Amino acid sequence: MGNSERHAEVNAIVSRYAVRDAGKDALRYSWLKPDVHLAGMESDRIMLQFFAAAGLSDLSRVSLLEVGCGSGSNLLRFLRWGFDPANLVGNELLPASLERARRYLPSELELIGGDASQLDCGPFDIVYQSTVFSSILDNGFQHKLAQRMWDMTRAGGAILWYDFCYDNPKNPDVRGVSRRRIRELFPRSSPVIRRVTLAPPISRTVTRLSPHLYSVLNALPFLRTHALCWIPKPASTGVYPGQ
Ligand SMILES: C[S@@+](CC[C@H](N)C(=O)[O-])C[C@H]1O[C@@H](n2cnc3c(N)ncnc32)[C@H](O)[C@@H]1O
């Protein structure tokens, strides 16, 4: 992918976010909503299982970069789990979101503005992305960012991934990233892929009746819309063979 195509997609991402209604998003994703905190608890549990299965015993010593960190809510979660702020780095394209993240996060935690595909830092034990790839509509750009994430992950480390797998018919500005596509983006890895998150339109409706319905319906895997993945980078290789 050339520099002009990259610029075009970055500008397109910025324009797509500019027309989003921030107030509506804040309400929809408020922690006060049972569907939001129940989905959050589910992904917390599985992420912590990934960490334990990978043999991470002292999270204060684990380094992590989040690309597209938005206002920093995931980084706050990692801090709560015991990560050291000096070992966490956040990156975000939109200056207003980066500014909000700066207000909430400790000053030892480094925040880097700009396009994640141009980052040159690390290597990190974990490189995390949460609903960033579904905001990228250009295939070449997705590959470029996947390659950058891979390069910034230390050999023996992993990419942590949370994103939805299906298109949203009501929102043409995003597209689902299927499990097959995740494997294509990281051909040198054997990802552990867990289906999570009860389909938001269903979960918003049923949790208004009773929060217990979240886990009842979420027991049916075909109603889960997101993938939470642990994408390990083998200890012996450092080169990404992508496009
Ligand atoms: C849906 S939001 C998710 C924010 C955060 N990761 C979360 O889970 O709360 C996607 C974020 O990715 C950012 N983003 C998209 N493309 C990016 C890129 N190329 N470089 C850095 N950030 C990017 C957007 O600006 C936006 O803040």
| CATH assignment at residue 221 | 3.40.50.150
Between vectors from CA 198 to CA 197 and to CA 204, what angle results, nearest 5°? 115
Flag whether 194 is in a domain: yes
Dist CA 203 CA 226 (whole Å): 13
Rounded CA separation 114/94 (Å): 7
b/e 56-79 (16+ beta carbons within 10 angstroms → b): eeebeebbbbbbbbbbbebbeebb
- Please give the sequence-ordered ranges of beta strands (E in DSSP) within the chain, or none if there are none: 64-67, 88-92, 110-113, 124-130, 153-164, 192-198, 224-232
* C-alpha span between 125 and 189 (Å, rounded): 15
Closest residue by Cα to atom 19, ligand 1, is 115
Å from CA of 135 to ligand 1 middle: 7
pLDDT of residue 240: 52
pLDDT computed for residue 9 by the predictor = 94
Give the binding-site residues of ligand 1, using a 6 Å CB cut-off: 10, 13, 17, 67-70, 73-74, 91-94, 97, 115-117, 130-132, 135-136
Would 221 be classed as within a structural domain? yes
How much is the pLDDT for 205?
96
- The reported pLDDT for the residue numbered 239 is 53
The pLDDT of residue 222 is: 96
pLDDT digits (tens, 9 = 90+) for 158-182: 999 999 999 988 889 999 999 999 9
Whole domain around residue 198: which residue ranges?
3-232
In a domain, 22, yes or no: yes
Is 77 inside any structural domain?
A: yes
Q: Is residue 118 part of a domain?
A: yes
Summarised one tens digit per residue, pLDDT across range 14-51 is: 999 998 877 788 788 899 999 999 999 999 999 999 99
Within a 10 A sphere around the Cβ of 194, how many other Cβ atoms? 19
Q: What's the CA gap between 72 and 102, in Å, rounded?
A: 8
Instruction: Specify whether the CB–CB gap between 75 and 66 falls below 8 A.
Output: yes
The DSSP call for residue 203 is: H
Ligand 1 closest atom vs CA 115: 20
CA of 12 to the centre of ligand 1 (A): 13
Q: What is the pLDDT of residue 67?
A: 98
Domain count, the chain: 1
Q: Tell me the CA–centroid distance for residue 210 and ligand 1, in Å.
A: 31
| Sign of the dihedral through C-alpha 104, 109, 112, 117 | negative
For a mutational test of ligand 1's pocket, the pick from 1, 69, 135, i.e. the residue with the most ligand atoms closer than 8 A to its C-beta, is 135
Q: Alpha-carbon distance 149 to 172, whole Å?
A: 25
Q: What is the dihedral of CA 103, 112, 148, 136, to 10 degrees?
A: 60
Spans of the chain below 70 pLDDT:
237-243
Among the atoms of ligand 1, which is closest to the Cα of residue 117?
Answer: 19
Per-residue tokens: 63? 């380094």
Q: Does a structural domain hold residue 238?
A: no
Identify whether 80 is part of a domain.
yes
Q: How many Cα neighbours within 13 Å face the side chain of 213?
A: 13
Residue 240 lies in a domain: no
